[in-house]
Amino acid sequence: MKYLFVFRWQLLDFVLPELRSLFKLYNLPRPELASETLAEPLATPFHYFDLNDEEAKSIDKICSRSVLIHSVYRVLEQGESLSELHENLKKLPYEVYQKDLYQKTFKFILYSFNYRWKSKSKYPMFDEIGKCLPHERLGLEVDLNKPDVELFVLFDYSKLGQSSKLVPRDKPRNVYLALQIGCTGFIDTKYGLKRRKFIGRTSMRADLSFLIANYALVKPGSLVYDPFCGTGSLLIPCSVHGAVSFASDIDWRTIKGDQELLDEKKKKETNQNKNKNKNQNENENQNQNQNQKKKGNKKKNQNKSNSKEIDQKRMRLNWEQYNIADKPLEIILMDLTNNNWNSRIKFDAIICDPPYGIREGSKQLGSKKTNQGQSKEIKGSLKYRIPSKKQVGVGELIQYLILFAAKFLNIGSRLCYWLPSRVGFKKENIPTHVCFKIIDVCQEKLSGGNMRNLIIMEKIIEFDPLNSSHLIIKDSNYSFKKKINEKGMSRKKLAYENRKKKMIQKIKKEKK
């Protein structure tokens, strides 16, 4: 039977991969698009899907987990215009109405996509549709407060322009009269970044974070690892779904938020402020003391605000905010390229947003200096310090990530990561490995001609360190920072060549 799915239009490229992942998560057959919408699957958020009875029963499960499904409907009748819908409703057999509307109260609800109806024209439209229904034979009555059945009138005015922006249509694409079977709540109302206590420059949006958790097939008890955790935005939905989360980052500032370190900082600040206030009060007059009290109050308020800021710089505060502090979370200070994981551990999913040099630089442990002296020892023990870091290319970092996932993922588990790119990026540019197959690639367009791709890979065979082919990653000369022009040169090299030509022209003119 056909069911009408209405999706959120902002991320239409992500819709089908999420639906396929959710069907696989609940051990359901792969969903199939109906032929009516197969011709242009990304031009509208309204799609028909063929589902059997078992799949239809699991719609509530899918809607409760989905991010991009707005609602699901069972369509009674449709038309390309209101007049066509009226004619089709009059021709509809009585048995179709009898299943859902016999001796029940109802009301109409309007849902119009990409067009706003005024109340003056909305209610007459409801009256015209109501006249097409067999009221007397069905015993239908209108109840606007507590109806037994809600009949949805759906208008699809969607049309995408060349710039992937919605363009208003004069006429609707389709008009539907349907019964709602399932709907989802909007995630940003609870898990949005605006209300989150601890965020950073690279914190992932809530809808994208929950999407990645669905792509990675995260379920209760799954071992999920994020090697570039940052503020932990990708692991929050995993803990919400009952997973065991492991987080690591090379930046020690994400790990320093332990309560002991916070208490030490607060004690140092309070002691310093007390000593300053004592010295100032002894040396100054009464009039100056009054002014100093005002300043002291300001300083105390500043110290309180600073202590609050320090308190907020802890990843676990987000878990406490969303009442998931009881879910296991382990945070480790570690470099992925120099990790010390036990080879026996196996993860059920690896999800991450690698740093690619725009807001956060891609780095690894090491020194820029090639000639390093011997490490100093004091009283028989090493002199510990924060290790130095050096830059690493994005392509090289992705290779480390894929090789790590090949070693530490279970068979059938998924690796989901973001890969930045520019216009003209193709699927062939993605680094691949023998142990993985690419499931889906979802693109999100950014400003300045940039875009980022969500790569979903699944492990199909076990990693063999003795096999030389398992140690090689097929790289397609991936590069993000180098923007190549028509002449085949990067911007820096092209600017250098232009300056060189101008200098040569000046020298020639001076000689003449």
Tens of pLDDT along the chain (512 residues) come to 788 999 988 888 898 899 999 999 998 877 666 544 443 445 688 988 888 887 888 888 899 899 999 999 999 999 988 999 999 999 988 888 888 888 889 999 999 988 888 888 889 999 999 989 888 888 888 899 999 999 999 999 887 544 445 555 568 888 999 999 888 876 777 898 888 888 888 889 999 999 999 999 999 999 999 999 888 999 999 999 999 999 998 877 766 654 444 455 555 666 666 666 655 555 555 555 555 555 555 444 444 434 334 444 578 889 999 999 999 999 888 888 888 888 889 999 999 998 876 556 666 666 666 655 555 555 555 555 566 777 777 778 888 899 999 999 999 999 999 988 877 777 777 888 899 999 999 988 877 677 889 999 999 999 888 776 776 666 544 555 544 344 444 556 667 777 878 888 888 788 76
State the Cα–Cα distance between residues 41 and 36, nearest whole angstrom.
Answer: 10
pLDDT of residue 304: 43
Under 8 Å between Cβ of 3 and 74: yes
Task: Give the containing element (helix H, strand E) for 61.
Answer: helix 59-65
Residues 6+ apart with CB under 8 A from 407: 343, 463, 465
What is the four-CA torsion angle of 220, 222, 226, 231, rounded to 10 degrees?
Answer: 20
State the Cα–Cα distance between residues 99 and 108, nearest whole angstrom.
Answer: 18
Under 8 Å between Cβ of 312 and 197: yes
What is the four-CA torsion angle of 259, 264, 268, 270, rounded to 10 degrees?
Answer: 40
pLDDT of residue 41: 46
Q: What is the number of alpha carbons within 13 Å of residue 220 lying toward its C-beta?
A: 2
Domain at 2-185: CATH code: 3.30.2130.30
pLDDT of residue 462: 92
Q: What is the DSSP letter of 167?
A: -
State the Cα–Cα distance between residues 367 and 497, nearest whole angstrom.
Answer: 32
Residue among 423, 399, 397 nearest 483 (CA):
423
pLDDT of residue 498: 77
Structure token pair of residue 388: 């130095």
Per-domain residue ranges for the chain?
Answer: 2-185, 194-255+316-366+386-471
Fold of the domain built from segment(s) 194-255+316-366+386-471:
Rossmann fold (3.40.50)
Under 8 Å between Cβ of 389 and 365: yes
pLDDT of residue 306: 41
pLDDT of residue 475: 54
pLDDT of residue 294: 52
State the Cα–Cα distance between residues 230 and 333, nearest whole angstrom.
Answer: 11
Q: What is the DSSP letter of 394?
A: H
pLDDT of residue 55: 80
Under 8 Å between Cβ of 435 and 350: no
For residue 154, what are the β-bridge partners? 111, 176
Under 8 Å between Cβ of 457 and 437: yes
pLDDT of residue 355: 85
Structure token pair of residue 201: 């420059």
Structure-token match 């510990």, residue found: 384
